[in-house]
Structure 1
Amino acid sequence: MKLIYSVHKYDVFMFNRLINASFYHNLATAARYISRTGDGYLYLLLVTVLYFKDGWQSPFLQTLLLAFLMERPIYFVLKNGFKRNRPQAAIKEFHSLVTPSDKFSFPSGHTSAAFMVAIISGFFIPVLLLPLLLWAALVGFSRVVLGVHFPTDTLVGMILGISAATYSLNQIIL
């Protein structure tokens, strides 16, 4: 329990440092756009393109589907099991810049899905790996900037996404 409190205390400290930084308002506008790229529409578009290009036999499509079928339930169980309040509920007089789709913050689903898609897409299109990892990191960072996640929410989201991607690649490809 002491560890959880220490992590939360550090999270609040880091969150407040970011929110109170002089450049915060400049980041906020960009964060809104970057965060939207992780809302799921691009993933649906990617799955649709892969289906129409190669059909259900596409290893890329199969890997993505397996990863989402595994990651989303784990994410849901963690989110509803830990029930960690979002910054707006945890910090007095703070208001997030966007309205989150659910009540709890741990882990970040946007970050998890972004890293999962980045790793899998980078495996199949290696030249895109580094730009996609940068994009995934920016999605996670944008969620903190927007005030809907603490830093460790995005860190655990990243770990979940990378783990789901790695497992799925091992099952389908390797």
Structure 2
Amino acid sequence: MRKDWELSIKWNVKLFYAINHRRNPFLDKFYKYFFYMGKTHSLPIYLLLYYIFTGTSAFKHLFVSLIITGIMMPSIKYIFRHKRPSSLLENVYLLEPVSLKSFPSADSAYVATLFCVSLFYGSFLLSGILFILMLIIGYGRVYMGAHFPLDVLVGYSLGIVAGL
């Protein structure tokens, strides 16, 4: 059986365990429902809200950026085929059913795309809210046991590139 490259990055595994093993009853309940906000089926809601608050040109930019993100994520997951932490490590707290591959985090990429586009068209308040949402979703992906921290960081990076 091959050893996945992310396991060889010691800080990645240590940080995963530090976040995933810091259990909190509030966060367990919070992320049980909140994680749906990062899923692709939530994107039409984000698009509609974005259109309402920022206008047509922002909507077009966001729409194209999300298509780019939507093409990049499954392509990269297919190329790397990296397993989820629960498949590679012992004692992983898993709060949601996981499928597909781990690297990179598509949820993190989508919210980073929203954040990046908001920097061009949104107000300081909107960008600030999306930045906080981005951090909450990224932390939650590791807390819930679905991703390694590196998956989230690369997802953020790809989302920002798509937003640009």
Indicate the TM-score class for this superposition, using the shorter chain for normalisation: 0.7 to 0.9
Q: TM-score, normalised by structure 1?
A: 0.80
1:5-44 equivalences in 2 (<5 Å): 5-7=7-9, 9-21=10-22, 23-44=23-44
User: 1:145-168 CA deviation, whole Å, 9 max, x = no partner?
Assistant: 1100000000000000111101xx
CA deviation profile, 1:33-67 (whole Å, cap 9, x unmatched)? 33221113442023345668999xx2112111211
Cα deviations by residue, 1:77-98 (Å, 9 ceiling, x for unpaired)? 1111111110110113435110
For residues 88-131 of structure 1, the C-alpha deviation after alignment (integer angstroms, 9 at most, x for no partner) is 1011343511012x321000000000010122134322231112
* C-alpha distance in structure 2 between counterparts of 1:91 and 1:73, whole Å: 29
User: What is the aligned length?
Assistant: 161
Unpaired runs of 5+ residues, structure 1, are 167-174
1:85 partner amino acid:
K
Distance (whole Å) between structure 1 residues aligned to residue 121 and residue 53 of structure 2? 14
Q: Which of 103, 128, 139 is residue 141 of structure 1 equivalent to?
A: 139
What CA RMSD, in Å, does the superposition of the two structures yield over aligned residues? 2.6
Cα separation, partners in 2 of 1:122 and 1:10, compared to 1, 3 Å:
same
Superposed displacement of residue 4, structure 1 = 5.2
Calculate percent identity across the aligned residue pairs.
Answer: 24
For the structure 1 residues 154 and 13, does the alpha-carbon distance in structure 2 shift closer, same or farther, using more than 3 Å as the test? Answer: same
Larger Rg over CA atoms: 1
In structure 2, the partner of 1:129 is: 127
Structure 2 distance, partners of 1:20, 1:47, is: 35
2:150 is matched by which residue type in structure 1?
A: T
TM-fit CA distance, 1:6 = 3.1
